[in-house]
Amino acid sequence: MKILTIHGPNLNLLGQREPEIYGRQSLNMIDNEIGRRGERLGIATVCRQSNHEGEIIDWLHQAAENDFTGIILNPAGFTHTSVAIRDAIAAIEIPVIEVHLSNISSRDDFRQKSLTAAVCRGTISGFGAASYLVALETFKILLN
Protein backbone atom coordinates (compact mmCIF):
# COMPACT_ATOMS: atom_id res chain seq x y z
CA MET A 1 0.00 0.00 0.00
CA LYS A 2 1.34 3.42 -0.98
CA ILE A 3 -0.48 6.62 0.02
CA LEU A 4 0.14 10.09 -1.40
CA THR A 5 -0.63 13.06 0.83
CA ILE A 6 -1.18 16.35 -0.96
CA HIS A 7 -1.22 19.58 1.03
CA GLY A 8 -2.71 22.59 -0.73
CA PRO A 9 -1.98 26.31 -0.69
CA ASN A 10 -0.61 28.12 2.34
CA LEU A 11 -0.14 24.90 4.31
CA ASN A 12 3.62 25.48 4.00
CA LEU A 13 2.98 28.21 6.60
CA LEU A 14 1.55 25.87 9.23
CA GLY A 15 2.76 26.68 12.72
CA GLN A 16 3.02 30.38 11.81
CA ARG A 17 -0.30 31.14 10.11
CA GLU A 18 -3.28 31.52 12.43
CA PRO A 19 -2.11 28.90 14.94
CA GLU A 20 -5.34 29.32 16.94
CA ILE A 21 -7.15 27.79 13.93
CA TYR A 22 -4.57 25.55 12.26
CA GLY A 23 -2.38 24.57 15.20
CA ARG A 24 1.25 25.09 16.09
CA GLN A 25 2.71 22.11 14.25
CA SER A 26 4.73 22.86 11.14
CA LEU A 27 4.03 21.04 7.89
CA ASN A 28 7.32 19.19 8.30
CA MET A 29 6.19 17.96 11.73
CA ILE A 30 2.89 16.73 10.28
CA ASP A 31 4.64 14.99 7.39
CA ASN A 32 6.97 13.26 9.86
CA GLU A 33 3.96 12.07 11.87
CA ILE A 34 2.33 10.72 8.71
CA GLY A 35 5.55 8.88 7.85
CA ARG A 36 5.90 7.35 11.32
CA ARG A 37 2.26 6.23 11.40
CA GLY A 38 2.60 4.83 7.89
CA GLU A 39 5.63 2.77 8.97
CA ARG A 40 3.71 1.34 11.93
CA LEU A 41 0.81 0.43 9.63
CA GLY A 42 3.03 -1.00 6.89
CA ILE A 43 2.06 1.80 4.48
CA ALA A 44 4.54 3.68 2.30
CA THR A 45 3.82 7.40 2.42
CA VAL A 46 4.81 10.35 0.24
CA CYS A 47 3.90 13.91 1.20
CA ARG A 48 3.84 16.90 -1.14
CA GLN A 49 2.74 20.52 -0.82
CA SER A 50 1.94 23.07 -3.49
CA ASN A 51 0.49 26.53 -3.71
CA HIS A 52 -0.29 25.91 -7.39
CA GLU A 53 -3.58 24.42 -8.58
CA GLY A 54 -2.12 22.94 -11.76
CA GLU A 55 0.64 21.12 -9.89
CA ILE A 56 -1.92 19.52 -7.55
CA ILE A 57 -3.95 18.44 -10.59
CA ASP A 58 -0.83 16.93 -12.19
CA TRP A 59 -0.09 14.95 -9.01
CA LEU A 60 -3.65 13.61 -8.98
CA HIS A 61 -3.41 12.59 -12.64
CA GLN A 62 0.00 10.93 -12.15
CA ALA A 63 -0.90 9.04 -8.97
CA ALA A 64 -1.78 5.76 -10.71
CA GLU A 65 1.38 5.66 -12.80
CA ASN A 66 3.34 6.27 -9.59
CA ASP A 67 1.67 3.23 -7.98
CA PHE A 68 -0.28 5.10 -5.31
CA THR A 69 -3.24 3.15 -3.93
CA GLY A 70 -4.86 6.09 -2.13
CA ILE A 71 -4.61 9.85 -1.78
CA ILE A 72 -5.07 12.03 1.29
CA LEU A 73 -5.87 15.53 0.05
CA ASN A 74 -6.10 18.77 1.97
CA PRO A 75 -7.11 21.14 -0.82
CA ALA A 76 -7.02 24.05 1.66
CA GLY A 77 -8.38 27.21 0.00
CA PHE A 78 -8.98 25.30 -3.25
CA THR A 79 -11.65 23.31 -1.40
CA HIS A 80 -14.10 26.12 -1.91
CA THR A 81 -13.02 27.38 -5.33
CA SER A 82 -11.52 24.72 -7.57
CA VAL A 83 -13.79 23.00 -10.04
CA ALA A 84 -10.58 21.90 -11.79
CA ILE A 85 -9.32 19.93 -8.76
CA ARG A 86 -12.80 18.52 -8.27
CA ASP A 87 -12.82 17.31 -11.88
CA ALA A 88 -9.31 15.83 -11.52
CA ILE A 89 -10.44 13.80 -8.50
CA ALA A 90 -13.52 12.61 -10.39
CA ALA A 91 -11.35 11.60 -13.35
CA ILE A 92 -9.12 9.17 -11.43
CA GLU A 93 -9.94 5.77 -10.01
CA ILE A 94 -7.72 6.01 -6.93
CA PRO A 95 -9.76 6.74 -3.79
CA VAL A 96 -9.26 10.19 -2.27
CA ILE A 97 -9.97 11.16 1.32
CA GLU A 98 -10.35 14.91 1.86
CA VAL A 99 -8.94 16.22 5.13
CA HIS A 100 -9.02 19.56 6.91
CA LEU A 101 -7.26 20.67 10.05
CA SER A 102 -10.17 22.86 11.13
CA ASN A 103 -13.87 22.05 11.13
CA ILE A 104 -14.88 23.81 7.92
CA SER A 105 -18.55 23.50 8.87
CA SER A 106 -18.01 25.89 11.77
CA ARG A 107 -16.00 28.46 9.79
CA ASP A 108 -16.92 31.44 7.60
CA ASP A 109 -19.90 30.89 5.30
CA PHE A 110 -17.70 30.72 2.20
CA ARG A 111 -15.54 27.99 3.82
CA GLN A 112 -18.47 25.75 4.66
CA LYS A 113 -19.00 24.54 1.09
CA SER A 114 -16.54 22.03 -0.33
CA LEU A 115 -16.53 21.66 -4.11
CA THR A 116 -14.25 18.63 -3.82
CA ALA A 117 -15.95 16.58 -1.08
CA ALA A 118 -18.64 15.08 -3.31
CA VAL A 119 -16.08 13.28 -5.48
CA CYS A 120 -13.97 12.04 -2.55
CA ARG A 121 -14.46 8.75 -0.73
CA GLY A 122 -15.04 10.72 2.46
CA THR A 123 -14.01 13.75 4.49
CA ILE A 124 -12.23 14.04 7.84
CA SER A 125 -12.32 17.52 9.35
CA GLY A 126 -11.67 19.36 12.56
CA PHE A 127 -9.10 17.20 14.35
CA GLY A 128 -5.98 19.21 13.56
CA ALA A 129 -3.02 17.18 12.35
CA ALA A 130 -4.75 14.03 13.60
CA SER A 131 -7.15 14.37 10.64
CA TYR A 132 -4.32 13.11 8.40
CA LEU A 133 -3.61 10.16 10.71
CA VAL A 134 -7.27 9.18 10.83
CA ALA A 135 -7.29 9.21 7.01
CA LEU A 136 -4.22 6.97 6.94
CA GLU A 137 -5.82 4.53 9.40
CA THR A 138 -8.99 4.59 7.29
CA PHE A 139 -7.06 3.63 4.17
CA LYS A 140 -5.48 0.73 6.09
CA ILE A 141 -9.00 -0.56 6.79
CA LEU A 142 -10.49 0.18 3.36
CA LEU A 143 -7.68 -1.11 1.17
CA ASN A 144 -6.86 -4.35 3.02
Residues annotated as catalytic are: 22, 100
In DSSP notation, 24-65 reads S--HHHHHHHHHHHHHHHT-EEEEEE-S-HHHHHHHHHHTTT
User: How large is the C-alpha radius of gyration of the chain?
Assistant: 14
3-state secondary structure of 100: strand
**Number of C-beta neighbours around residue 58 at 10 A:** 13
Rounded Cα gap, residues 103 and 36, in angstroms? 25
Residue ranges in the chain assigned as alpha helix (H): 19-22, 27-41, 53-62, 83-91, 130-142
CA 116 to chain centre: 11
